[in-house]
């Protein structure tokens, strides 16, 4: 934390705003990230259109959780993209597949993690796509078949769902998640399209918590403050600056991203854990927390 604080104080205020305010945000985020969980929680990262940087977001928050928390963290790729969360996190695709000898219902942690790769952050990776159809996203039933029996061995399970349409796909993502990150570009039409699915997700009988993530892929962050829909979503909204380094031909370590991007990812990770904590409240208290 001290290294980040030092970097904050060395940057122009025009870039990051008040250094003391940012340091407060980081301190609060770090405390949230380390909050203990009484039960394992499942986090889904989803987008309604491609090219929004959702896999970078998924990899970053998963790596932060794996590095800063004491429990095991599982990163799951269900998206069709080659540069998915496992790629960005540094998990080799050949080392992230459940082998044929692995038990369908593991009884021990070593069985649940057998054959899976581990990123430098400590994140354990699992690839759900069919190797014979690498450009096709994994079916939701594959997630339920492989992850449901294993999730209890992990503190957190973060899934990169990629692009999912409403109705069947997003409905299944909601069933599989305690918290969903809906990720969108910052242009007006993209934000409005992504925001349209939030009420439908929240209207479910056992609705997941939602975090709305706006990534400034096209440099259009200046547009989003003028969108009147945002204050009425009723969910946490986190703005993430896009870092061009993340779009390179090789994975980029977190320390090589811009300070602004790293801060935003930490704040997002803290927001997700705060929402995950709310899913552990008793029924009436959980309902009240949504108001």
Kind of pairing between the strands at 209-216 and 73-77: unpaired
**Total length of the chain:** 291
Residue partners of 214: CB distance under 8 A and separation at least 6: 184, 185, 186, 191, 221, 224, 237, 238, 239, 240
pLDDT recorded at residue 93: 60
Q: Which pLDDT value is given to residue 132? A: 84
pLDDT of residue 8: 42
The pLDDT assigned to 67 comes to 93
What is the DSSP pairing of strand 237-241 with strand 156-163? unpaired
pLDDT at 246: 81
In angstroms, rounded to a whole number, what is the distance separating the alpha carbons of residues 208 and 110? 30
Model pLDDT, residue 114:
87
10-residue mean pLDDT profile of the chain (291 residues): values are: 47 51 81 92 94 92 95 95 90 67 82 90 92 87 92 96 82 94 91 91 90 84 61 90 82 82 93 95 58 53
Cβ-proximal residues to 60 (8 Å cutoff; 6+ apart), any chain: 88, 254, 257, 265, 268, 269
Strand partners, 43: 158, 179
| Cα Rg, the chain, nearest whole Å | 18
pLDDT tens digits, residue range 183-224? 999 888 889 999 999 998 998 888 899 999 999 986 655 555
For position 7, what pLDDT does the model report?
46
Give the pLDDT score at 47.
93
Give residue 177's pLDDT. 96
The predicted pLDDT at position 149 comes to 92
Q: Please give the pLDDT value at position 45.
A: 97
């Amino acid at each position: 934390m001290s290294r980040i604080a030092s970097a904050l104080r060395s940057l122009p205020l025009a870039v990051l705003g008040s250094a003391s305010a940012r340091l407060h945000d980081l301190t609060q985020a770090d405390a949230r990230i380390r909050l203990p969980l009484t039960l394992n929680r499942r986090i889904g990262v989803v987008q309604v259109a491609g090219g929004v940087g959702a896999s970078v977001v998924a990899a970053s928050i998963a790596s932060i959780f794996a590095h800063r928390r004491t429990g095991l963290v599982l990163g799951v790729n269900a998206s069709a993209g080659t540069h998915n969360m496992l790629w960005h996190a540094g998990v080799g695709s050949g080392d992230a597949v459940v082998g044929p000898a692995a038990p369908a219902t593991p009884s021990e942690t070593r069985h649940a993690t057998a054959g899976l790769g581990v990123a430098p952050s400590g994140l354990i990776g699992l690839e759900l796509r069919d190797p014979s159809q690498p450009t096709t996203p994994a079916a939701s039933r594959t997630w339920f078949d492989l992850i449901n029996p294993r999730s209890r061995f992990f503190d957190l399970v973060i899934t990169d769902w990629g692009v999912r349409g409403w109705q069947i796909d997003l409905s299944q993502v909601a069933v599989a998640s305690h918290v969903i990150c809906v990720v969108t570009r910052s242009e007006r039409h993209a934000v409005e399209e992504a925001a349209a699915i939030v009420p439908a997700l929240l209207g479910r009988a056992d609705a997941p918590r939602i975090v709305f993530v706006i990534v400034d892929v096209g440099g259009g962050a200046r547009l989003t403050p003028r969108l009147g829909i945002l204050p009425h979503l009723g969910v946490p909204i986190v703005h993430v600056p896009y870092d061009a380094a993340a779009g390179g031909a090789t994975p980029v370590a977190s320390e090589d991203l811009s300070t602004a991007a790293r801060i935003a990812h930490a704040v997002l990770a803290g927001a997700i854990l705060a929402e995950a904590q709310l899913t552990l409240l008793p029924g009436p208290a959980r309902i009240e927390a949504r108001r």
